[in-house]
């Protein structure tokens, strides 16, 4: 077997992609979010790269990873694309067992949800909670899972990774090292020619003309990410249909409460063989940061598809959910990034687009 | 035939059997006057892995008495699972046992109950309330005939090409764990200047993990017969490689619970021998020797 970790750089052609990260966990968390089918398409652009995966021509998951100073990506040709087995890529990143599942869902501190604290204390004991430092503890309030172990251990050195891709037909080469003294791993993952993906354009025009966006979340949605996650993980896995019902927020007057009781602003309804579940979200700033909805809507989705997004949701910090006129749902998850210091680079995020079930359209 | 001993170091015994049990549900234990040999040589083992271990009696037992017509050697075949369960209940380490008493003494002896030979373990302990308890476990055994014992042969191996001290097995284990689903075969390569590589190669991925600065040991230290054969002529950078079954290598890594130092020997394209030392290398209480035959697939 060959060991040409460095050969790729010696090759006459300059590589199409060169990237490096200090800590593979963030990168691995992003890839895991879209790892609902094995084959993903990676598109390299000037600003970073995009990983896409689709299922049943209905669900499209896209992870946007932007280059910042911790990564250096200098593609020569724009939009080079290849397909890659995501499972293998993630396993390779996790070769030292350091790209663990406990990806963070902690954003900037602020909203504290005391009602969740007990849950966290329970988690704490079986994760590496002892390592929590004060900062981790402060940020952890209000988020349920895994977060703090993540930030608590941020002090310890992460596993670094360097990635090169020489161009079409070449493998993706990863060089992973834990520290200078430890072992280094060279992975060469076979790439395949990219195939065209499902196009699901989300129409912002339609949203403005005849705006139908039950929830549009813009800022400080850390609590919301966990709110949605908790709601969905509560559902029985045997459910097959999930309906999102949105109603315009009631006018702010004295009758608000009574109206809100009558028509919930946001209701999630799950139906399956063994019964159905309804969950209403209250009109509460703590729960829904922003909420826009112009006329009542109701769209159903296959639960199997929505549950595909859970993995990304679990490690995300903020969630935005939009539904357009035709029922196309766009779920955006803001993913944690190593440091907040970079003003230039945008935060990485994962977007899912899912088509509504047809029978509800009539 | 008489045999009786008290187990002094029950945790070590427990861990050794723990490593063995993962490999084979039935094992052979040969007690002689100064060593205990645990042998796993079933042909049906994954990838043909075998274990031939020697543990010094002093490191595990006290008041050890053995007598038999076959030169004071008793060889028995027994279920490693049952032995492990017995030792778990006797073990005082809190993680391993959920027992409600503290073990004070464990006596192991050969006995016959209802015409069935058993290895009987008598555990005397003290409950938290200060009451004395006695727990007895009988592990069914088959005493092997001397003729059958004589047929037990260690695998023959050529003189290994390279001896290298492996990094801590706890560090190796997660890596091999990731490689296991990706490939059935694992190439292990090492040279005489401290380099060790684990690699897999499949249609979809090639993964090489390399350690530098491992230590090579002299051949004599690893117990070989002719130490000087052609050591000078060899190129210290030349890599020797062997292809083994990933799963059997992973099973060997289960011995991380007991290991302190592990020496790997590679016979190029033939087999791999792993010496897992129990206790310090200098004052080894025993050594578990794993033989992993090489696979002839590609290369």
Last residue of a domain, one of B102, B132, B151: B151
Residue of B nearest to A182 (CA): B211
Q: Which of B179, B187, B208 sits opposite A186 (nearest CB)?
A: B208
Q: What is the pLDDT of residue A148?
A: 40
Distance CA A272, CA A237 (A): 9
In a domain, B240, yes or no: yes
Contact state of A85 with B177 under an 8 Å Cβ cutoff: no
Of B187, B209, B299, the CB nearest to A183: B209
Task: Give the ranges where A127-246 is alpha helix by DSSP (H).
Answer: 134-140, 147-152, 204-209, 222-234
pLDDT at A77: 53
- The pLDDT score that the predictor gives to residue B154 is 86
Q: Are residues B42 and B179 in the same domain?
A: no
Q: Which candidate in A187, A189, A190, A191 is best for mutational testing of the B interface (most B CBs within 10 A)?
A: A187
- Given A85, A95, A97, which is nearest B207 (Cβ)? A95
Give the pLDDT confidence score for residue B233 in this predicted structure: 56
Q: Is residue B9 domain-shared with residue B145, that is, in the same domain?
A: yes
Q: Does residue B100 sit within a domain? A: yes
**Which of B178, B199, B203 minimises the CB distance to A1?**
B199
**Other Cβ atoms closer than 10 A to A193:** 10
- Residue A101: what pLDDT? 55
Q: Do B118 and B180 fall into the same domain? A: no
The better pLDDT of the pair A250, B113 is held by B113
Do the first three CATH levels of A1-99+159-199 and A204-336+351-360 match, i.e. the same topology?
A: yes
3-state secondary structure of B299: coil
Predicted local distance difference test score (pLDDT) of residue B5? 94
Looking at residue A339, its pLDDT comes to: 58
Specify if B299 maps to a domain. no
Contact B205 A5 (CB under 8 A): no
Q: For residues B8 and B137, state if they share a domain.
A: yes
Which residues of B have a CB under 8 Å from any CB of A?
167, 171, 174-175, 177-179, 181-182, 187, 197, 199, 201, 203-211, 213, 299
* Residue B177: closest C-alpha in chain A: A95
Choose among B167, B205, B211: nearest Cβ to A190.
B205
Same domain, residue pair B14 and B91: yes
Q: Which residue range forms the structural domain that includes residue B172?
A: 162-293
DSSP string, B196-260: EEEEEE-SSEEEEEEE-SPPB--TTTTT-S-TTTTTTTS-TT--EEEEEEHHHHHHHHGGGGTEE
- Whether the predicted pLDDT of B83 surpasses 90: yes
Q: Where are the domains of chain A?
A: 1-99+159-199, 106-156, 204-336+351-360
User: Which of B151, B180, B205 is the C-terminal boundary of a domain?
Assistant: B151
Residue B178 lies in a domain: yes
Label residue B278 by pLDDT band (50, 70, 90): confident
Among the four given CATH numbers 3.30.70.260, 3.40.50.720, 1.10.3720.10, 3.70.10.10, the one describing domain A1-99+159-199? 3.70.10.10
Nearest chain A residue to B205, by CA: A189
- Evaluate whether ipTM surpasses 0.90: no
* Domain covering A204-336+351-360 assigned CATH 3.70.10.10 in the classification: yes
Same domain for B168 and B140: no
pLDDT at site B1: 86
Distance CA A14, CA A2 (A): 21
Provide, rounded to the nearest whole percent, the portion of chain B with pLDDT above 90.
47
Nearest CA in chain B to A94: B178
B103 and B42 assigned to the same domain: yes
Residues B6 and B133 grouped into a single domain: yes
pLDDT at B127 over 50: yes
Chain A residues touching B164 at Cβ < 8 A: none
Please determine, for residue B108, whether its predicted confidence score (pLDDT) is greater than 90: yes
Q: Point out the domain boundary residue: B126, B151, B176.
A: B151
Place of tokens 């091999």: B176
What is the mean predicted confidence (pLDDT) over B259-267? 89
User: For chain B, what is the largest distance between any 2 Cα atoms, rounded to a whole number of angstroms?
Assistant: 69
Residues B129 and B247 placed together within one structural domain of the fold: no
Total tally of structural domains belonging to chain B: 2
Q: What is the mean pLDDT of residues B124-152?
A: 89
Provide long-range contacts, Cβ within 8 A and 24+ apart, for A148-151. Answer: A148/A106, A148/A120, A148/A124, A149/A102, A150/A25, A150/A102, A150/A103, A150/A104, A150/A106, A150/A336, A151/A104, A151/A106
Q: Which residues of A touch B211 (CB under 8 A)?
A: 182-183
CB contact under 8 A, A1 and B299: yes
Same domain, B117 and B198: no
Lowest-confidence pick of A11-25, B54-68, B204-218: A11-25
Contact list in B for residue A187 (CB cut-off 8 A) is 205-208
| CB pair distance less than 8 Å for B208 and A97 | no
pLDDT at B67 (0 to 100): 92
DSSP labels, A315-347: H-SEEEEEE-TT--EEEEEEPP-S-S--SSSPP
Give chain A's residues under pLDDT 70: 1-13, 68-79, 100-157, 203-224, 250-263, 338-346, 359-362
Question: Which chain A positions have a beta carbon within 8 Å of B256's beta carbon?
Answer: none
CB contact under 8 A, B178 and A94: yes
For residue B11, give the CATH number of its domain.
Answer: 3.70.10.10
Q: How confident is the model over B24-57, as pLDDT tens digits?
A: 888 999 999 999 999 998 777 777 889 999 999 9
């Amino acid at each position: 077997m060959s060991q040409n970790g460095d050969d790729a750089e010696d090759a006459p052609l300059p590589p199409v992609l060169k990237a490096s990260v200090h800590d593979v966990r963030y990168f691995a968390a992003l890839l895991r979010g879209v790892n609902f089918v094995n084959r993903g398409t990676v598109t390299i652009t000037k600003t970073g790269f995009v990983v896409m995966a689709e299922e049943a021509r209905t669900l499209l998951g896209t992870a946007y990873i932007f280059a910042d100073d911790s990564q250096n990506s200098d593609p020569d040709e724009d939009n080079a694309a290849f397909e890659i087995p995501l499972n293998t890529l993630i396993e390779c990143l996790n070769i030292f067992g350091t790209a663990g599942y406990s990806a963070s869902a902690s954003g900037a501190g602020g909203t504290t949800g005391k009602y969740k604290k007990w849950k966290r204390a329970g988690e704490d004991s079986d994760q590496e909670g002892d390592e929590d430092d004060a900062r981790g503890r402060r940020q952890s309030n209000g988020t349920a899972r895994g977060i703090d172990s993540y930030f608590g251990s941020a002090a310890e050195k992460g596993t670094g990774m360097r990635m090169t891709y020489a161009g079409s037909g070449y493998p993706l080469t990863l060089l992973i090292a834990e520290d200078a003294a430890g072992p280094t791993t060279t992975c060469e993952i076979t790439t395949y020619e990219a195939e065209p993906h499902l196009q699901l354009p989300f129409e912002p025009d339609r949203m403005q003309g005849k705006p139908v966006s039950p929830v549009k979340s813009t800022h400080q949605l850390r609590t919301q990410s966990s709110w949605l996650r908790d709601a969905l993980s509560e559902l029985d896995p045997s459910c097959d249909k999930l309906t999102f019902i949105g109603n315009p927020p009631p006018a702010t007057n004295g009758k608000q409460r009574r109206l809100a009781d009558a028509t919930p602003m946001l209701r999630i309804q799950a139906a399956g063989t063994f019964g159905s579940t309804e969950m209403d979200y209250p009109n509460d700033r703590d729960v829904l940061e922003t909420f826009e909805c112009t006329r009542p809507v109701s769209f159903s989705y296959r639960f199997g598809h929505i549950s595909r997004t859970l993995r990304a949701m679990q490690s995300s910090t903020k969630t935005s959910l939009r539904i357009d006129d035709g029922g196309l749902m766009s779920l955006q998850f803001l993913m944690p990034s190593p440091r907040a210091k970079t003003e230039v680079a945008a935060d990485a995020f994962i977007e899912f687009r899912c088509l509504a079930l047809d029978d509800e359209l009539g | 035939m008489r045999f009786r001993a008290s187990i002094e170091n029950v945790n070590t015994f427990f861990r050794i059997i723990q490593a063995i049990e993962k490999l084979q549900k039935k094992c052979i234990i040969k007690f002689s006057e100064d060593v205990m040999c645990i042998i796993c040589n079933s042909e049906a083992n994954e990838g043909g892995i075998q274990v031939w271990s020697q543990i010094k009696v002093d490191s595990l037992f006290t008041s050890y008495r053995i007598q038999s017509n076959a030169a004071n050697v008793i060889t028995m075949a027994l279920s490693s699972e049952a032995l492990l369960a017995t030792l778990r209940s006797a073990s005082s380490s809190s993680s391993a046992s959920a027992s409600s008493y503290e073990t004070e003494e464990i006596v192991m002896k050969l006995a016959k109950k209802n015409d069935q030979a058993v290895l009987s373990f008598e555990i005397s302990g003290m409950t938290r309330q200060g009451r004395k308890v006695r727990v007895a476990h009988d592990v069914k055994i088959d005493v092997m005939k001397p003729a059958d014992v004589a047929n037990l042969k260690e695998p023959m191996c050529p003189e290994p090409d390279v001896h290298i001290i492996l990094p801590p097995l706890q560090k190796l284990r997660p890596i091999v764990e990731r490689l296991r689903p990706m490939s059935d075969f694992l190439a292990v390569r090492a040279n005489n200047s401290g380099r060790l590589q684990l690699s897999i190669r499949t249609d979809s991925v090639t993964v090489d993990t390399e350690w530098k600065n491992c230590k090579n040991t002299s051949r004599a230290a690893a117990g070989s017969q002719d130490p000087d054969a052609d050591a000078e002529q060899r190129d210290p950078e030349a890599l020797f490689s062997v292809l083994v079954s990933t799963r059997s290598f992973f099973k060997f890594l289960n011995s991380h619970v007991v290991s302190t130092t592990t020496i790997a020997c590679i016979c190029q394209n033939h087999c791999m021998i792993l010496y897992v030392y129990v206790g310090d290398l200098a004052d080894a209480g025993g050594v578990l020797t794993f033989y992993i035959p090489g696979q002839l697939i590609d290369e």
